[in-house]
Amino acid sequence: MRVVFHDAQLKHRPLTTLSHGVPKPNAEQPERASVLLGAMRRRGATVTAPRDRGADPILAVHDSRYLDFLRTAHAAWTALPGAGPEMRPSLQPRRPVAHVPDAILGRAGLYLGDTASVIVEGTWEAAYASAQTALEAVSLVLRGERTVYALCRPPGHHARRAVASGYCYLNNAAIAAEHARRSVGRVAILDIDVHHGDGTQEIFLDRPDVLVASVHADPRQVFPFFTGHADERGEGAGIGFTLNLPVPPHSGDDVYCDAVAQALQRIRAFDPGLLILSLGLDASVNDPFRSMAVTDDGFRRIGGAIAGLGLPLAIVQEGGYLSPTLEHTLLAFLDGLATPAHGG
Ligand code: Q9C
Ligand code: ZN
């Protein structure tokens, strides 16, 4: 299987996050990508660098002033007297904003949604390359490759049209889906990251041509807390084209696999030309967030079930954090993918 990756994706190295009010090392480290890439290389995968398709496919999903901010924010931040190495807002608006401020601290508050999604020197370059990686993967699938793995990092599914959050800056899966829509009538996104894909949901909420199905830990207890409930089903023309399948935290294989099977049933009925998989590995029982308890065998089963759809597939890496077994979870999933399960 072909892997798409660009070395610039390693340039984003966030330092800290606030955890229970205490500054802690930020979990979204470049080593995540190095570990997954190493595993794929050992498995014999071909690694391709994406070509640069420019900003237009990103602007099809994201706000242009938000993009300008991401591109120029770190330089403006560094110019502040006594600025630290990472940009993190001190305040955030709690109501719709009529006027975008000029001051960088004001724009940081407007565009950065939480304390984990900081901007450091290499953030823009890495996020841009990550988006190009997703675009390359989906383009290869559109040109006839059955399955391509976009090793996206930083991840994307929490990035909204004009807000970074949950370690995400550009919504790689959404950018790929929108790009694919130019060639196929219907695109499905299946998100199995343990956290609700709130950014992806927002971007396609009123769209009947892009189905967004997400399996995740119940947001009553787990980040992103405010979205991902079963009664969120889309808006306007998009009603019925958003599917949320929250599951109780700490559930094991059977519960997570059942929810994935329900999502797959909806996707089959939708009959898309292409599937984009937001592949978080953080539902793993070994993930440091400890939100879910899915074993590698569970990931193998999920891979088999997805392969059973028989759809052209672009896999977009989302979450999944450093542990001694992170790569084993990916490999188990890919094993399953190579062994399509039928029925169910
Ligand atoms: N102690 C993804 O998996 N919570 N994002 C941060 C830090 C944010 C996860 C709390 C979890 C975001 C792509
Ligand atoms: Zn996640």
Structure tokens given for 215: 């399996």
Distance CA 303, CA 257 (A): 10
Computed from CA positions of residues 282, 284, 288, 289, in that sequence, does the dihedral angle turn out positive or negative? positive
- Nearest listed ligand to the Cα of residue 158: 1
Q: How many helices (H) and strands (E) does the chain have?
A: 10, 10
Q: What is the pLDDT of residue 344?
A: 47
Neighbours of ion ligand 2 (CB under 5 A): 193, 195, 280, 282, 319
Q: What is the pLDDT of residue 342?
A: 82
Q: What is the pLDDT of residue 343?
A: 61
158: annotated active-site residue: yes
* Distances, alpha carbon 66 to alpha carbons 107, 134, 162, in Å: 9, 20, 5
- By most ligand atoms within 8 Å of CB, the mutation choice from 200, 289, 326 for ligand 1 is 289
Q: What is the identity of the amino acid at 111?
A: Y
Report the separation in Å between the CA atom of 215 and the middle of ligand 1, taken as the mean of its atom positions.
16
Say which of 6, 12, 157, 158 is annotated catalytic. Answer: 158
Structure tokens given for 31: 């080593």
Contact assessment for residue 15 and residue 28, using Cβ atoms and an 8 Å cutoff? no
Whether 154 lines ligand 1, by a CB cut-off of 6 Å, is: no
Contact assessment for residue 315 and residue 150, using Cβ atoms and an 8 Å cutoff? yes
Q: What is the pLDDT of residue 164?
A: 98
b/e string for 74-106 if b means 16 or more Cβ within 10 A?
bebbeeeeeeeebbbbeeeeeeeeeeeeeebeb
Whether 167 lines ligand 1, by a CB cut-off of 6 Å, is: yes
Q: Give the number of residues written for the chain.
A: 344
Distance CA 147, CA 307 (A): 10
Reduced to 3 states, what is the DSSP secondary structure of residue 344?
A: coil
Is residue 28 exposed (0-12), middle (13-18) or buried (19+ Cβ within 10 Å)? buried
HSE of 95, CA atoms in CB hemisphere, 13 A:
2
C-beta neighbour count of 185 within 10 angstroms: 10
- By most ligand atoms within 8 Å of CB, the mutation choice from 114, 158, 194 for ligand 1 is 158
Per-residue pLDDT tens digits of the chain, which is 344 residues long: 999 999 999 999 999 999 999 999 999 999 999 999 999 999 999 999 999 999 999 999 999 999 999 999 999 999 999 999 999 999 999 999 999 999 999 999 999 999 999 999 999 999 999 999 999 999 999 999 999 999 999 999 999 999 999 999 999 999 999 999 999 999 999 999 999 999 999 999 999 999 999 999 999 999 999 999 999 999 999 999 999 999 999 999 999 999 999 999 999 999 999 999 999 999 999 999 999 999 999 999 999 999 999 999 999 999 999 999 999 999 999 999 999 998 64
Reduced to 3 states, what is the DSSP secondary structure of residue 112?
A: strand
Helix (H) or strand (E) holding 213: strand 210-217
| Concatenated DSSP letters of 291-333 | ---B-HHHHHHHHHHHHTT---EEEEE------TTHHHHHHHH
Report the separation in Å between the CA atom of 35 and the middle of ligand 2, taken as the mean of its atom positions.
17
